[in-house]
Amino acid sequence: MPAAHPHGAAGPASRPRWEVADVLRLHADGYRRSHPLPSAHLKIMQALTACRTPALGGHLERCGGCGFERRAYNSCRNRHCPKCQSLAKARWLEARSAELLPVGYFHVVFTLPHVLNPLILRNKAVFLKMLFDAVGQTLLQFGRNPKNGLGGKIGFLAVLHTWDQKLSDHFHLHCLVPAGALSPDGQRWIAARSDFLFPVKALSRVFRGKFVAFLREAGVVPADDLAALLAQLYAKDWVVYSKPPFGGPAKVLDYLGRYTHRVAISNHRIRSVADGKVTFSYRDRADGDSLKALTLPAEEFIRRFLLHSLPRSFKRIRHFGFLANRAKARDLPRCRQLLGLPADVPKTEPVCAREQLRQLTGRDLDRCPACPTGLMVVVAELPKLAIPLFTLPTPPRLDSS
């Protein structure tokens, strides 16, 4: 029989019936019993189960008209939490919107071969940095080469994803590249072709060469194993995919929003949690992106979800070229000027969290849900409660990657 849902009946269509946090509340103890956990994984599980519950405290609101009361609990703000990414994404997109240029944007994806997955999972910080460095150097090198049609400094952002639709490990970078470059003397904007950025086969070969060079230098693979690994890495072309450009700030922002603050799975994809299993939807790329369902044992679902934890302080969104932090203050105004815009990047006024939530959900949190005219006012702070999120003794912990 399905487990009783802790939130009661399903709410509006915009609210998912099941959440990753529900899976953890129901099955985390069993998972911890059979899996020694890195401390980072334990912290993620604790944060997600505590998110928007009395464990994190909050405040009591009361309607000034009818007296209706509601409790609002604090968010965990963990970057692996599906519930906490909508506001983070909205704030980030708000800050980036002023930096968009009036040109087309290319979407280029770089994927690491799956033979590297076991090594990456044991040493994420080193291997994922090598992925960013190899991609960054590859694209910047192609942009500088006039034979590739530009011959200047390009700018782009790269977003790390570590999953596929079935939550398996799949390490790749999504890069969003404005269609053009700043000339070496800073006096011209060199426009890219409207339908083509760089040849993907050449990108693939250079990307592979740079990553392998970093791999040799890192010394993370024993010498006895390195030769066999390199033979596997050179046996196939590496996957680089480039989509046709799309234009207009609104389309670019919408596209950015799909990639920048995703976690491995959104709560809306979870269809059921029953009989010790989790069923979720996925798109089958091999079958024309058709929507299908996959059912996993709950412990396997948790294992796959935790595969995608990031090393502490690791930045999964990075900027390069004329958008890099060290160059942006100088180069971006010049690019804007050459493209007919005012040099100064418009400043975006910060929007409060409640207003952002209203924009995201269409719900005005200041308005009383029980009467049409009253306004909700905070009347008391709710302290954190010492709720035992996990009742089993803590198993031996491993060093987090």
CA-derived radius of gyration, the chain: 24
Distance in angstroms (rounded) separating the CA atoms of residues 250 and 105: 12
Distance in angstroms (rounded) separating the CA atoms of residues 115 and 99: 38
State pLDDT tens for residues 228-252. Answer: 999 999 998 999 999 877 766 667 7
State pLDDT tens for residues 204-234. Answer: 999 999 999 999 999 999 999 999 999 999 9
Query: What pLDDT, on the 0 to 100 scale, is given for residue 265?
Result: 95
Distance in angstroms (rounded) separating the CA atoms of residues 109 and 124: 19
Query: What pLDDT, on the 0 to 100 scale, is given for residue 4?
Result: 43
- pLDDT band at residue 63 under the 50/70/90 scheme: very high
Distance in angstroms (rounded) separating the CA atoms of residues 218 and 130: 9
- pLDDT band at residue 13 under the 50/70/90 scheme: very low
pTM score > 0.85 for this model? yes
**Surface-to-core class of residue 112, CB atoms within 10 Å of its CB (0-12 exposed, 13-18 middle, 19+ buried):** buried
Q: Is the pLDDT of residue 15 over 60?
A: yes
Select from 306, 295, 271, 302 the least CA-distant residue to 29: 302
What is the mean pLDDT of the segment spanning 337-345?
94
